[in-house]
Every structure is written in C-alpha cells, then in structure tokens.
Amino acid sequence: MVNEVNAVSFRQNLGEMLNQVQYRKDSILIQKDGKPVAALVDAELFTRIRRMRDRFDALSSRLAASYANVPVELGQAEIEAAVAQERAR
C-alpha cells in the first residue's frame, strides 16, 4: 500500500511511518506543496530497486556501445521498425 503525506505530517509522524514501512511493507510518498519529492520504502524494496537500476544502466551502456558507430538516422529507423513490429502483434 502507498500512503501519501505532506512533509509536515511526515516529520510529525516519522516513528509511526517507519513502523508502517518496516512491519506492514507500506510505502510513503512524501509531498511538498502538493508535489511528490521523496518516498520512504522498506530496505528490501530499496535494494531491489537499486539492483534493477544498476542492471538497466549496464544494459544501456552495452546498447550505447553497440550503436556507437551507427549513424543516428539508421539507429532511429531500426528502433522505429522494432516498435512498429511489436505494436502490430
């Protein structure tokens, strides 16, 4: 479950919210002036998010290296063709 709170409420209820995250595995979306600025998630989820980000960064680097010598227009055309093919399924 994701709860949304403003920054003032978050500061005032930090202990309770830490318990919600730790024991109930809830997530807290912290807003300031009505805009999301941060999230509080349990440490296990945060570890998984970091691992996924690291894998994504590694994959992006491999893709960039693979296409380093390909002209932008050719690469873009290839991407658009692959997207069109997937959408047609």
For residue range 27-41, list pLDDT tens digits in order: 999 999 999 999 999
Residues 54 and 23 in one domain: no
Task: Count Cβ atoms within 10 A of the Cβ of residue 28 and give its class: 0-12 exposed, 13-18 middle, 19 or more buried.
Answer: buried
Residues 6 and 32 in one domain: yes
Q: Which domain holds residue 36?
A: 2-41
Residues 62 and 75 in one domain: yes
Residues 53 and 37 in one domain: no
- In tens digits, the chain (89 residues) has pLDDT values of 899 999 999 999 999 999 999 999 999 999 999 999 999 999 999 999 999 999 999 999 998 898 889 899 998 998 999 999 999 98
Residues 37 and 48 in one domain: no
